[in-house]
């Protein structure tokens, strides 16, 4: 992806530096643009492109989720919470209204 943002340059060192700083691809995409831009070789343009990519991914995910039942098991609930909250730089409080009727084992 970085190669598309920075053509004709070896982007592997930049990718490795971003992942080293933020821990994972999800961490990179969720990072504040100013912090991404601090990484050598990234800069403000790459930070903006990564944030646009992150926003597109979130929008696509929300569109898919709106078409079906979102959470039908404990595993899906944990995955939802991780995807929604794990890399957000600000602490959040959310209330989830769950129906206990599932086809899988009871939530513990």
Q: Check residue 20 and give its pLDDT.
A: 95
Q: Check residue 108 and give its pLDDT.
A: 41
Q: Check residue 93 and give its pLDDT.
A: 83
CATH number listed for the domain at residues 2-67: 1.10.150
Tokens 């930049």 belong to 14
Q: Tens digit of pLDDT for each residue in 2-31? A: 877 887 888 899 999 999 999 998 889 888
Q: Where along the chain do its domains lie?
A: 2-67, 69-108
Alpha carbons 61 and 59: distance in angstroms, whole number: 5
Q: Is 94 helix (H, G, I), strand (E, B) or coil?
A: coil
CB 37 within 8 A of CB 44: yes
Q: Tens digit of pLDDT for each residue in 66-91? A: 666 667 788 888 887 887 777 777 78
């Amino acid at each position: 992806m970085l190669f598309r943002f920075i053509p004709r340059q070896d982007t592997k060192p930049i990718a490795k530096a971003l992942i080293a700083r933020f821990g994972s691809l999800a961490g990179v995409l969720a990072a504040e643009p100013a912090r991404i831009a601090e990484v050598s070789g990234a800069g403000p343009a790459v930070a903006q492109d990564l944030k646009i990519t992150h926003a597109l991914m979130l929008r696509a995910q929300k569109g898919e989720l709106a078409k079906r039942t979102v959470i039908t098991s404990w595993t899906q609930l944990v995955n939802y919470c991780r995807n929604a909250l794990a890399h957000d730089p600000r602490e959040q409080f959310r209330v989830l209204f769950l129906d206990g009727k599932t086809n899988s084992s009871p939530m513990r």
